[in-house]
């Protein structure tokens, strides 16, 4: 792995959501990009699109791990679409690609991503997402969520760099 590889932060949440939530996701994406992180997501709409847009507006890099076989299914803000053809099973790949996961409200797909992240002992930061466990870090705002995520990721990268 490149000695200066960047933190990879997954943002997960509903594929359809309110404008307000999408803007909150954009704030997260922007923060990640401004602080040298890479945005990973499921590549589709809603939270995923908001986060990717925020990252791109700040000049960042975005990776979208898609359920379908078709790169065209990625939202307009995905630099590197990774089509899997696995349907919702691609959720586990989103988590495996991430150093840290930020969860927004979502349904069972989001829940599966949080479950896999917790199972893999990756840090999970929630903005009003499923309340499952004390192990999930609750954030009060998108800025706080993004800041926490970058902090955890940098700790992990520090360990990796031994």
**Interface with its own copies includes 83 (CB under 8 A)?**
yes
Q: Are 37 and 153 in contact (CB under 8 A)?
A: yes
Site for its own copies in 33-62 (CB under 8 A): 38, 56, 61
Residue 8 in contact with its own copies, rule: CB under 8 A: yes
Q: Determine contact, residues 10/98, Cβ cutoff 8 Å.
A: yes
As a whole number of angstroms, the distance between CA 98 and CA 37 comes to 11
Question: Is 53 strand, coil or helix?
Answer: helix
Strand partners, 61: 38
Sheet holding 137-138, edge to edge: 80-83, 61-66, 38-41, 8-12, 100-103, 124-126, 137-138
Stretch that binds its own copies, among 9-17, 20-28, 66-74, 146-154 (CB under 8 A): 66-74
> Does residue number 118 form part of the binding site for its own copies (CB under 8 A)?
yes
Binding status of residue 16 toward its own copies by CB under 8 A: no
- Cβ neighbors of 17 (< 8 A, separation 6 or more) are 25, 46, 47, 50, 104, 105, 106
Residue 90 Cβ vs its own copies, minimum distance, rounded to whole Å: 10
Stretch that binds its own copies, among 12-20, 28-36, 70-78, 137-145 (CB under 8 A): 70-78
User: Which range binds its own copies by CB under 8 A, 13-21, 26-34, 74-82, 138-146?
Assistant: 74-82
Which of 20, 72, 134, 140 touches its own copies by CB under 8 A?
Answer: 72
CA distance 37 to 121: 20
Binding residues (CB under 8 A) for its own copies: these are 1-3, 5-6, 8, 38, 56, 61, 63-65, 69, 71-89, 92-93, 96-97, 107-109, 111-112, 115-116, 118-120, 130, 132, 160
């Amino acid at each position: 792995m490149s000695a200066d590889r960047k933190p990879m932060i997954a943002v997960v949440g509903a594929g359809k959501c309110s404008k307000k939530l999408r803007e909150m996701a954009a704030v997260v994406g922007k923060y990640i990009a401004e602080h040298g992180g890479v945005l990973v997501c499921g590549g589709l709409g809603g939270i995923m699109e908001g986060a990717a847009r925020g990252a791109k507006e700040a000049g960042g890099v975005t990776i979208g791990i898609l359920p379908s076989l078709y790169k065209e299914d990625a939202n307009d803000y995905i630099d590197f679409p990774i089509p899997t053809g696995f349907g919702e099973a691609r959720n586990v790949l989103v988590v495996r690609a991430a150093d840290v996961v930020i969860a927004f409200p979502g349904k069972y797909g989001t829940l599966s991503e949080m479950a896999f992240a917790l199972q893999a002992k990756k840090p999970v930061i929630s903005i009003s997402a499923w309340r499952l466990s004390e192990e999930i870090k609750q954030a009060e705002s998108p800025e706080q969520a993004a800041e926490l995520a970058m902090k955890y990721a940098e700790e992990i990268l520090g360990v990796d760099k031994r």
